[in-house]
Structure 1
Amino acid sequence: MKLQTSLETLEQQDGHPLVETQYGKLQGKTLSAKGIDRTVNAFYGVPFAKPPVGSLRFAAPESPEAWSSTREATNYAPMCVQDRHMMEQLVKAVNAKIYIPEVSEDCLYLNIFTPGDRVKGEKLPVMVFIHGGGLVMGGAMMFEGSALSAYENVVVVSIQYRLGVLGFFSTGDDKAPGNYGFLDQVAALKWVQENIEDFGGDPGTVTIFGESAGGVSVSSLVVSPLAKGLFHRAIAESGVAIMPALVARSTEEVVFISKIVANISGCVGDNLVDCLKAKSEEEIQAIGAAMQMMPLPASIDGVFFPKPPEQILADKEANRVPFMTGVTNQEFGWILPSVMNITGFPGEMQIETVQEILQKFPFLGIFSSATSLLIDEYIGDKTDAAKIRTSFVDMVGDLVFVIPALKTAKYHRDSGNPTYFYEFQHRPLIFKESKPDFVNADHGDELFFVIGGPFLKSDVLFKGDSNEEEEILSKTIMKYWGNFARSGDPNGPGLKHWPQYNQDEYYLELNLEQKATKQLKAQEYKFWTEILPQRFQKLQEEKGEHIEL
């Protein structure tokens, strides 16, 4: 029955693409990208689960209800509950023109982009994108898949998941185990397995990819037994499950944060969860806003995460799939400190400012007693304020992104999985006016090229023009990602060879010219993983204390 459905896929009704799924008919719209004749059929706001409201708040998602008449799938669904103003500020900061939907608790939808010239019965690789936003903001509209689908002849899916309090609140026990946002991602991947053939996709060739918190999500799905068999390759861009802040390190941390939520909400005592379930959508939104920049991390719930992600990786129990990960060369360059509203940034900095910042954001995992060790290593005797700022940016970028990514790559390599690593190094021209001159390749900058930014002409546009070199770079990166989705190996004709991340630690520099080299930040890696723990332990012994770094 499924085969017959897939062969009848993408009929036309009044010039619009039409797909019949097991839940009902969907009518989409046809898009195009610059520089290529292939059109793309897009289906927006496709439900992959029931609305997570009422009794399904703080509960695992359930399969969606069927519909009888043809469902129009031509508009974005609402984003999951979040601070919409914060999303507007982010879009403005990245110099993009994106329609920002309203927010709603009814938000478990996905968007699908499939090549318009697909031969009937042909099964194409599927690339499922998971958006970033610190697990507190973002939406499926952040990845408009028309250019990537057209240029790489793949089916692109962009999903949404519950965020903030509704997505990750946990009491550290069975009352509210948490990780509902991750369970939504699992549900979306199950939906893809059961339905993507109707859109020309191959359920046996699914790649998950995401950036920032989306990369954390990808890396988390790779270590979760709940996601086993739901995907076959994974790309984690600028985010992995073992980075600080987004995955709790202990039950105590989860309980501590749940008490903060309780105090803010006025829900205290044994009825905390029932009290939160009774709150309105607006009240939940207000709780999230009151928490400001404090993340609501995923929890080690014994189900999605049977144990801490790093332990799963060390025990070689993660899902066995080809794995790609990487970073930009200035992860903490501008966008993140701007969003975090760091005092004095992006102005020139003094050592005292650095000390204040490191102590102001405890979720970075830096104990005050370790601050001096970090300043000694990264800043030393520098007095020039601009150089101090650069050293600070490198320090936080290494701590939060680079070192965890390298460590994760080593775990996958040692487990025998084909592993590829990159460092993205190009500053996009679109940020020429909006970002200070000292910023290199900032957090998220590679996404402009992965998404095919220079070729988009639909609902996501970027202000400012790219030049021919950037167009070539975008085609190159889409080809690497597309090859990886097809075969688990990014290499192919016309591309600079990208060696696996093996014992020699080869990686690819992604710039206007690509270059294979090895041992990214080897000295910094040794500092964070060997030298700093030793110095910290010695410091604690001298003070008669014992704290795990």
Structure 2
Amino acid sequence: MTPLTTVLLSTLCLLLSDEATGYNLTVKTNHGYVRGYEATSSANPNVTYYAFQGVPYGKPPVGSLRFQDPQPVPSWEGVINATSFKPTCAALETGRVAAGSEDCLYVNVYVPKTNKDNEELLLPVVVWFHGGGFTRGSSRNNPSYMIEKPLIVVTVSYRLGIMGFLSTLDKNAWGNAGLKDQSLALQFVKSNILHFGGNPNRVTIFGQSAGSASVEYQIVSPKSAGLFSQAIASSGSTLNEWGFNKNPLELTIRFARWFNITSNDTKEIVAGLQKIDWETLILNSQVYGKFLPSVEAESPNAFVSQSTYDLWSAGKFNKVPFLRGYNNEEGSYGKNSYTRYGNDSKTIIPAGLNMDLNSPEANEVINIITERYFPGKSYYNFTNAINFMTQHYFVRGIRKTSRDYVNSSTPLFFYKFTYVTKENYTRGANGGAGHAEEGVYVWYSRKLLNDEDVLMKDRHTTFLSNFIIYGHPTPKKDPLLQNITWPEASEGIQSVDDIRYIEIGRNLVPGINPDHEDFLFWRNLFRKYAKSTVYSY
């Protein structure tokens, strides 16, 4: 008997059997009944699992609730049919298309059919936050790889762009609604996952890119303390400048002017924007820049009300075991926009320095960065640009927060992903692993081309699931993982700036200090030139 079946029977839930179509599962949550179904793995037709798609965790954020902090889902009558996806959260998709829906606060729950010696044993849980730059993306990840492990997978939809991050820095729109959606989803999981056979005290949050930054936001926010016990983050940080808006109120006022809302009263601005249909808002939402996470005004409900740079530096975060890393050519995502550095060299100055771009110091910074990353002013060199963007937009912030994690004496396991095949997902500049490359070895993908790819998938899902289940990516010697023992990042280091890691390529290779010269370069640059409070790094 599986853990899920045990819980179903113990709570007198309904199990309807149909030989032709499999099971219809009805689970009683704290809010009402949901009906799921038995699904077949896309990767292995011999593997089936239980799927509950479109389970509500929050009240639909529509009408007067648009831009507001999320509210818990109220109880419902009858049975919710959780056998198909709900619409994705409203977003501006490729081709300037407004897609999705405002009514989008749902989770998908996937439960393996695993046999346990102890039928009372509850399964560990992993909660996934998708990427997409906080402006797009969805929770429709196919769990066929991870579901073969003895753990429950939960994927979360959260508000994006203007719907999730518009802010007036006051009670009319506090801001960071999308991050608060994630936290509310974690509250829902904490309160309800037992009904699906999950262990509410063994919840790991996991994200990639903006989802990775989201994981860090949950770690630094006191509002999410106690809602998860571990974390995994791939290729993103709260300090990456693509995921932060320093002046949210200015952007909101300017955007309102676009719709001829001329009042400076934030209540009137929000009321005016709430009257506009969501498609129109989405289509115009990036005319002056992107709506992103920001520092909120102090309030009892504030999610983040201080620079996360300061929070990390002071050790003010939820100290849970952490597995994280990045890919060696993250910057390949910008392969269509790298020419901007040659068109305007000021664009290489980090926003976190808070500099006057016309100052003599700004020219000094341009020259210093140019000498290191664009020798001979080779701004139009694709390889140089990819290397710069990898460090500038990703690695710099990731290494900074990881250093702070090591200094907190909290378990951290670090990696650098370098595995490539002939048909790389993102086609890095030098044949390296581009941004999001590792995702095809976590979520089901038809892009796995050969036995080496399958081996990488098996390795990647194994060390991830080991961490989720045991709190360590290599709890014992395993030939699949080449019998390595993954060291904690702080193990045997000689300096506070050191970090131990595993390089994930065709082999798993222990090392120390990935991209260390770049790390020291940026650290020294910020120490010399950063002005006032640092928000991004």
TM range (shorter): 0.7 to 0.9
TM-aligned CA distance change 1:380 to 1:208, over 3 Å: same
Match of 1:511 in 2: 505
Partner residue of 2:292 out of 293, 296, 299: 296
Partner residue of 1:27 out of 11, 35, 46: 35
* Paired letter, 1:126: V
Q: How does 1:148-297 map to 2 (within 5 A)?
A: 148-150=146-148, 152-249=149-246, 253-269=247-263, 270=265, 271-291=268-288, 294-297=290-293
Alpha-carbon contact 1:82-1:288 (below 8 Å) kept: no
Matched, 1:523 2:522: no
Match of 1:447 in 2: 439
* Paired letter, 1:264: W
CA deviations over 1:299-325 (Å, ceiling 9, x no partner): 334311132112122222201100122
Q: How does 1:19-58 map to 2 (within 5 A)?
A: 19-29=27-37, 30-35=39-44, 37-58=46-67
Q: In 1, distance between residues paired with 2:243 and 2:282?
A: 19
Alpha-carbon contact 1:118-1:200 (below 8 Å) kept: no
What TM-score comes out, normalization by structure 1 length?
A: 0.84
TM-aligned CA distance change 1:398 to 1:229, over 3 Å: same
Q: In 2, distance between residues paired with 1:175 and 1:24?
A: 31
Partner residue of 1:74 out of 53, 75, 83: 83
SS for the counterpart of 2:88 is coil
CA shift for structure 1 position 417 = 0.8
Match of 1:458 in 2: none
Q: In 2, distance between residues paired with 1:406 and 1:177?
A: 30
CA shift for structure 1 position 440 = 1.3
* Paired letter, 2:402: A
Identity of aligned residues (%): 28
* Paired letter, 1:471: V
Q: In 1, distance between residues paired with 2:432 and 2:9?
A: 46
TM-aligned CA distance change 1:181 to 1:383, over 3 Å: closer
TM-aligned CA distance change 1:317 to 1:478, over 3 Å: same
Gaps of 5+ in 2: none
TM-aligned CA distance change 1:364 to 1:446, over 3 Å: farther
Match of 1:381 in 2: 376
Figure out how many residues of one structure are paired with residues of the other and give that number: 500
Q: In 2, distance between residues paired with 1:126 and 1:489?
A: 15
CA deviations over 1:267-324 (Å, ceiling 9, x no partner): 2211111111222112221231434x63533333431113211212222220110012
CA shift for structure 1 position 12 = 4.1
SS for the counterpart of 1:409 is helix
Partner residue of 1:104 out of 101, 110, 130: 101
Alpha-carbon contact 1:128-1:208 (below 8 Å) kept: yes
CA shift for structure 1 position 371 = 2.3
CA deviations over 1:379-433 (Å, ceiling 9, x no partner): 2237696xx321221112112110111111111111111011111101244437x
Q: In 1, distance between residues paired with 2:383 and 2:343?
A: 13
CA shift for structure 1 position 343 = 6.4
Alpha-carbon contact 1:326-1:421 (below 8 Å) kept: yes
Match of 2:68 in 1: 59
Q: In 2, distance between residues paired with 1:284 and 1:531?
A: 39
* Paired letter, 2:175: G
TM-aligned CA distance change 1:424 to 1:32, over 3 Å: same
Q: In 2, distance between residues paired with 1:467 and 1:87?
A: 36
TM-aligned CA distance change 1:147 to 1:322, over 3 Å: same
Q: In 2, distance between residues paired with 1:23 and 1:435?
A: 46
Q: In 2, distance between residues paired with 1:547 and 1:431?
A: 39
Residues 410-419 or 15-24, more deviating: 15-24
SS for the counterpart of 1:68 is coil
Matched, 1:145 2:140: no
Match of 1:467 in 2: 450
SS for the counterpart of 2:331 is coil
CA shift for structure 1 position 23 = 2.5
SS for the counterpart of 2:240 is coil
Q: In 1, distance between residues paired with 2:533 and 2:216?
A: 27
Alpha-carbon contact 2:319-2:410 (below 8 Å) kept: yes
Q: In 1, distance between residues paired with 2:219 and 2:200?
A: 17
TM-aligned CA distance change 1:363 to 1:257, over 3 Å: farther
TM-aligned CA distance change 1:13 to 1:50, over 3 Å: farther
* Paired letter, 1:16: Y
Matched, 1:135 2:130: no
Q: In 1, distance between residues paired with 2:503 and 2:163?
A: 39
Q: In 2, distance between residues paired with 1:213 and 1:4?
A: 34
Partner residue of 1:401 out of 389, 394, 402: 394
Match of 1:324 in 2: 323
* Paired letter, 1:466: L
* Paired letter, 1:371: I
Residues 368-377 or 314-323, more deviating: 368-377
* Root-mean-square deviation over aligned CA pairs: 2.9
Partner residue of 1:16 out of 4, 23, 28: 23
Alpha-carbon contact 1:161-1:167 (below 8 Å) kept: yes
What TM-score comes out, normalization by structure 2 length?
A: 0.85
* Paired letter, 2:371: D
Residues 479-488 or 436-445, more deviating: 436-445
Gaps of 5+ in 1: 89-100, 346-350, 454-460, 541-545
Alpha-carbon contact 1:244-1:365 (below 8 Å) kept: no
TM-aligned CA distance change 1:531 to 1:186, over 3 Å: closer
Which protein is richer in helix relative to its size?
A: 1
Match of 2:489 in 1: 501
Match of 1:480 in 2: 463
Alpha-carbon contact 1:39-1:117 (below 8 Å) kept: no
Q: In 2, distance between residues paired with 1:374 and 1:241?
A: 23
